[in-house]
Amino acid sequence: MRRYILLLALLFVCLFAQAALADCYSYTVIVYQTTEWWDGTITYQILDMYEVGFCDVSGGVPPDNTGGGGYVPPPTSAPSVNLAFVDTTDVWNPIVGVDVSSNDSTDQVAWVIFEINGTTQDYIGYVGNGRYQLHMPAITTWGEGTQSLNGKACTGQGICGESGANLNRFNQNPSTNGEDMSAAWQEEDPEGPVTRYGAYGHSIRQMYMTTWFSCSELGGNSHVEVKDSLVTISSVYPEPMWNGSVQSNGTINNASWGLSYNPDNPVGCTFPTVCWSKSGGAWGAFGYAPSVDDSVGSFVIEGASAMMTGGSLHVTF
């Protein structure tokens, strides 16, 4: 009598959960065959076994950006950015040049941005690779010290390429100059007017601030900002009553200003020498290499107008 075997080949997939670590899980997949014999007995044969794992982020399912196909796109690459220059031809409205030279087609640049000390100063929508000109506040906005400049290009997903530079503004030691003055005046005398002579010192102490950038600067008018002038007359002779004015040259705001009495005496006046100082300044006199001239006007001694020499000084930066 022939014996036969009834083979029923069935495929089952069994999932056995393994120990979970944080929000990540792994499973064992077992592929096996079931055989039912003629006498009713059943046997099993394992054909394959392998591990499968996944992580559940915050208990949710991450978005599928692959159209359901399971493909995960590569990370977006940051745009290439260069803060090319600052143009200070007009120190009241400086222009910043930001170059954008690459753009990821899967996550395109949306904005080109200019920042100072991490705060946005200007921005413009992206229209293609090239040079973007953005606006910077007036140079006078920034006091003494170093400011951080940053050009950025950011994609729709917030991936940014950046390029930085520094703006540096510092007060410098004053530029000084001096000369000797001579004066002649007449005083009344019982026998008639008598001519008197006196020697006076004349000095200028010119304050200024310099500005420079760690990136390229076009125009360069921010380089020197002319500050107050301090003009001093000194002598052992009678105090003169005098006036004076100062003129800035080679700046984008050529200006003149009068002087008024100032209690500061920068010259080391020791007895019997006495000093008389006046100061004044023009706001916003900028230039690359400006100069300043002071001029002493009327000179009155003991109520009499005096003839004088050496009443003009020149300083450069």
Q: 294 and 264 in one domain?
A: yes
Residues 15 and 255: their CA atoms lie apart, in Å, by: 88
Rounded to 5 degrees, φ, ψ at 139 are: -60, -35
Q: Which has the higher per-residue pLDDT, 121 or 158? A: 121
Q: 258 and 186 in one domain?
A: yes
Q: 161 and 92 in one domain?
A: yes
User: Among all chains, which residue has been given the structure tokens 């399912």?
Assistant: 61
User: Among all chains, which residue has been given the structure tokens 């008197």?
Assistant: 196
Q: How many CB atoms lie within 10 A of CB 11?
A: 9
pLDDT (tens digit per residue) in 258-308 = 999 887 766 678 888 899 999 998 777 899 889 999 999 889 998 899 999
Q: 308 and 287 in one domain?
A: yes
Return the closest-CA partner of residue 126 out of 151, 94, 95, 163.
Answer: 151
Structural domain includes residue 311 = yes
- Going by pLDDT thresholds of 50, 70 and 90, the confidence category of residue 187 is confident
Rounded to 5 degrees, φ, ψ at 87 are: -100, 110
Domain that holds residue 138: 81-167
Picking from 167, 185, 213, the residue at the C-terminal end of a domain is 167
Q: 128 and 110 in one domain?
A: yes
Structural domain includes residue 51 = yes
Q: 128 and 156 in one domain?
A: yes
| pLDDT for 238 beyond 60 | yes
What's the domain count of the chain? 3
Structural domain includes residue 64 = no
- For residue 281, how many C-alpha atoms fall within 13 Å in the half-sphere facing its CB? 16
